Structure 1
Amino acid sequence: MTVNPKELTAVIFDMDGTMVDTESIYHIAWQELATDLGYTLDQTMLKATTGRRISDCYAIIQAALGADFPMQHFQEQWWNYWTRHVQRHGIARKAGLDQLLNLLDAHAIPKAVATSSERTEALYTLDRAGIADRFSILVTGDQIQHGKPAPDIFLLAAERLGVDAQHCLALEDSEAGVQAATAAGMTTFMVPDRIQPSLDIAERAFRVVDTLHEVHDWIVEEWLAVVVEKEEGAATTSRIERLRTEWTETSGHEWV
């Protein structure tokens, strides 16, 4: 995939697994609850839920465990298991996140969150991770008709930012997220969390990197370098226009 950094204007972040280490907490909570109910959630099943809306996760789990699985009870109780784990262990921010957010803020680059989590869960997570005040735009899984891997959530985030989706840089950790972001036409960095991408997904992404530090460095070396060059070019043009005007006014001749 060829990307022109001159065209990028905003960054859209996935939340779970990309900015914060919460995918593992979901899996632990679901596994503990399923065990208490006499069932087992294996890694294949958990992988299928990664990056998806909770309603889609319910459908995946129900289909895998059968009609007898007490899904209503599962839906009512999993949040208690999840929050109990968070209260004990907290929510860790991913390596390089703070540095990246500081960079974007320093250069006034617009940013948003596009998470499959529902709004209540997302606000709780961002608050517990200490980054709720870093974002003014939050798009959640309960605000769209089709969840990841459909592009809806990224398209809505771009709309709320007031930018074209093709001018956005998307950051994702899951295969479903990469599918969604690339389907929206976004330049997509994949930062795998617990699961490495398939060859197909890796080829869809613009880059597959180990940490957000690498995203930070790319923005500095590729995106901002172009922005600075463009700004300096604009400044040069502006100076020439001023000289042109001054020459015409003082000499009475047109500068050609």
Structure 2
Amino acid sequence: MKVKQISAVIFDMDGLMFDSERVGRAAWRQAGEEFGYNIGDEHYQQVSGRTVADATEVFRGIFGEDFPFQEIRRRRVQIARDYFEQHGVPIKPGLLELLDYLDARALPRAVATSTDYAPAMEKLTRTALAKRMHAIVTGDQVARGKPAPDIFFAAAKQLNADPPRCLVLEDSEAGIRAAHSAGMIPVMVLDLKQPSEEVRRLAVLVAASLDEVREWMEGLQIEG
């Protein structure tokens, strides 16, 4: 894919803006154990970047139709919330510098996260990052979650941006597939899981950090 002039940037949230996937993974494991289920890393990876509705189907496919998803999820949310209230929401290194870079070039940006609106806004408000975004689209606001492209189309529409000129920053395979399906410019920023070779081929860049993304953008001489 040839990178065209970038006119907007769309951010995933958990695992991309926030170092929260480790907390989420541990919270799922603890909540599952409390209900008698062994939710391992391999199970968590299957729902990473997916909506609540999709995660429900995945877990019931693994553990059976009687899997008490909503009860375990509520407990998982509480465990994670308790952690963030005690320790704060950890911002990924390089995020603030990247946002400053986008500010300097007047590039509009959005968050497009599979997380539901209320918990997403809780994190974005707690970290004072909501006000640095021009649009926020959450998983409960679209008909289909990632890897369907719906959430990215919705974000581009709110930014009044042409999809082929939208740069999408993602840490999940589902997110990269969604960005590619939307005809956007997918960049993967590594977090918990190494991408498959197929997903690597879909991304125009696989970066180790947001600092690397900013340096790559500087090399493109993007003026906004």
Does the TM-score normalized on the shorter chain lie above 0.5?
A: yes
Contact 2:6–2:166 (8 Å) recurs in 1: yes
Cross-structure match for 2:139: 141
Cross-structure match for 2:83: 85
Offset of 1:68 from its aligned partner? 3.2
Q: Which amino acid aligns with 1:17?
A: G
Distance 2:111 2:201 in 1: 24
Contact 2:108–2:134 (8 Å) recurs in 1: no
Match of 1:196 among 194, 197, 201: 194
Q: TM-score, normalised by structure 1?
A: 0.84
The 3-state SS of whatever aligns with 1:214 is helix
Cross-structure match for 1:53: 51
Higher helix share: 1
1:230-245 matches, within 5 Å, as none
Contact 2:169–2:189 (8 Å) recurs in 1: yes
Contact 1:8–1:223 (8 Å) recurs in 2: no
Cross-structure match for 2:26: 28
Match of 1:171 among 169, 172, 177: 169
Distance 1:67 1:163 in 2: 41
Q: Which amino acid aligns with 2:2?
A: T
Cross-structure match for 1:233: none
1:124-135 matches, within 5 Å, as 124-135=122-133
The 3-state SS of whatever aligns with 1:145 is coil
Taking CA–CA contacts closer than 8 Å with sequence separation of 6 or more, which of the two structures ends up with the larger relative contact order?
2
Distance change in 2, residues 1:72/1:170 (3 Å): closer
1:1-256 matches, within 5 Å, as 1-4=1-4, 7-224=5-222, 227=223
Q: Which amino acid aligns with 2:88?
A: G
Distance 2:168 2:146 in 1: 13
Contact 2:19–2:92 (8 Å) recurs in 1: yes
| Structure 1 gap ranges (5+) | 229-256
The 3-state SS of whatever aligns with 1:203 is helix
Distance 2:94 2:169 in 1: 13
Distance change in 2, residues 1:84/1:200 (3 Å): same
The 3-state SS of whatever aligns with 1:2 is coil
Distance 1:223 1:165 in 2: 20
Contact 2:89–2:123 (8 Å) recurs in 1: yes
Distance change in 2, residues 1:42/1:208 (3 Å): same
Q: Report which of the two structures shows the higher radius of gyration computed on alpha carbons.
A: 1
What stretches of structure 1 move > 3 A for 4+ residues in a row? none
Q: Which amino acid aligns with 1:106?
A: A
Distance 1:189 1:139 in 2: 19
Offset of 1:25 from its aligned partner? 1.6
The CA RMSD measured in Å over matched residues stands at 1.4
Offset of 1:33 from its aligned partner? 0.8
Distance 2:75 2:54 in 1: 17
Cross-structure match for 1:236: none
Contact 2:17–2:92 (8 Å) recurs in 1: yes
Distance 1:128 1:40 in 2: 31
Distance 2:211 2:3 in 1: 20
Q: Which amino acid aligns with 1:3?
A: V
The 3-state SS of whatever aligns with 2:167 is strand
Offset of 1:130 from its aligned partner? 3.1
Identity %: 40
